[in-house]
Amino acid sequence: MIEQISNKITNLLLQAELLEETAIPTFKYCFEVVFMLFLFLFLTFPVAYILGFFLPSLLFVILFLLLRSVAGGFHAKNPELCLLLSVGSFFLFLFVCNFYTSNYFTIIIYGIACLIILVKAPIEAKNYPLARHKKERHKKQCKILLVAFSLIYAYCHIYKMYSFASSIFMAVLSISIALLITK
């Protein structure tokens, strides 16, 4: 469904001569991403608001998207499956957010997730190969983001802001899992 809508909009732009044929794959992908993001937000944020986790949810999504954009990772076979997995991950985040506490186990898991990202990232999408200089830049950006996230994570632990700590924990853990399951 999402793919079909993206195709129709792209074809309309092509027929109106607003884009060249070489740009078709890029525009289709961009429209898919935008529709998926709006659907994701529409399906998840009202629930997060009702449960009282709107700000931690917002932090989770922002951190996840920032890190995902440079780390890469698993890509679903179609946009609908991607949306289903994203919504499922988000509700898993809400569950974890509800029960997250500061302990050595969560800090160790966070550290392992960071190491996985440092070793495996960036993983490029088959439809979006990265030139060598972009790979190096993405690797550096991953490192910078992980340092920043880790400092915020430590701050949240020190000041017992566990709902925000869980946002960072789950964003980093989700990306590390996406990198591990990428073929």
For each of the chain's 183 residues, which pLDDT tens digit applies? 778 888 888 888 878 877 788 877 888 888 888 888 899 999 999 999 999 999 999 999 999 999 999 998 777 788 788 888 889 989 999 888 888 888 899 999 999 999 999 999 998 776 667 788 989 999 999 999 999 999 999 999 999 999 999 999 999 999 999 899 886
Query: What are the structural domain ranges in the chain?
Result: 2-181
Residue 50's pLDDT is: 94
Q: Is the pTM of this model over 0.75?
A: yes
- Report which of 134, 156, 125, 179 is spatially closest to residue 60, judged by C-alpha positions: 156
